[in-house]
Amino acid sequence: MRFSIVLSAQPTRFDAVAFRGDFERNLARIAAMGYDGVELAIRDPAQMDYPALRALLDQYGLAVPAIGTGQAWGEERLSFTDPDPAVRRAAVERVRAHLPFAAQVGAQIVIGLLRGVVQPGVTHKQATAWMVDALQECTRAAAAVGVRLCLEPLNRYETDLIHTVAEGLELIERVGADNLGLLLDTFHMNIEEADMAAAIREAGDRLFHFHVADSNRRYPGAGHIDFGRLLGTLAEVGYEGFVSGEFLPWPDAETAAERAIAHLRSVAPRLDLP
């Protein structure tokens, strides 16, 4: 089982990113802790120096299992469900702009809050239709370069669109793309799912990526979630992707990251996981 952690490649106001700031220093720290990869949070691909980024990733031996897009919502309010068609178009184009680098490094593209929320004056039905249209266009473009997209069910306090595995699977069926799957996040699942292990089983082979944070959104082991049970369920369903930490930098980024990987590894061996 391989472990990664979210690293912001650009300035961000999002709280649940342990590492931000000096990019190379963060890569060195993450690699030294024994992580296998970094999930890159990138707001705008146009502002990235990808050759330099790729060289640093190779230098520190870190894979990129996924690229997060949520900062485009958090910093710019781009979304698939904005009433303004120009904003919806910009959100789709932002996803398309991530595809060349994602294809190079074998990363998946995360669709979290980039899907947006149901805004005033818009019905849930209309917002969902816009979201489906956007996902269909994005998945077609991604499929052409061999990239998968991961839709993340989020808790009810952050969006009114797609909270559970069941809702996510229903949307995936409506989009009708083989390269669209789910990203499950234990923080959100703890709020929305009656049984997190059962939700993982329900996702089955549509589980493309997995986020870990404890019940308080701190590092695994700082709350009440049974990560041994969840890692065991991942093994049971044949999940071969990364387990990626997205949690608050509490008490600080380095301590949180060290405690997270120590806790996850402490429960994984008892389950005979690779």
Q: What pLDDT does 273 receive?
A: 46
CA atoms within 13 A on the CB side of 101: 27
Pinpoint the alpha helices (H) of 144-239: 165-175, 186-192, 196-203, 227-236
Within 13 Å and on the Cβ side, how many CA atoms surround 103? Answer: 13
Q: Which of 75, 93, 152, 236 is catalytic?
A: 152
Asked if 152 is an active-site residue, the reply is yes
pLDDT at 268: 86
Set 236, 240, 246, 258: catalytic member: 246
Orientation angle between helical segments 196-203 and 227-236, nearest 10 degrees: 20
Q: Which domains are assigned to the chain?
A: 2-271 (3.20.20.150)
Tokens representing residue 104 in the block: 């190079």
The whole-number pLDDT of residue 269 equals: 52
Q: What is the pLDDT of residue 274?
A: 46
Residue 259, both tokens: 């405690």
**Along the chain (274 residues), what's the average pLDDT of each consecutive run of 10 residues?**
91 61 91 97 94 96 97 94 98 98 98 97 98 99 99 97 98 98 99 98 98 97 97 95 96 95 86 48
Q: What is the predicted pLDDT for the residue at 22?
A: 85
pLDDT at position 9 is: 86
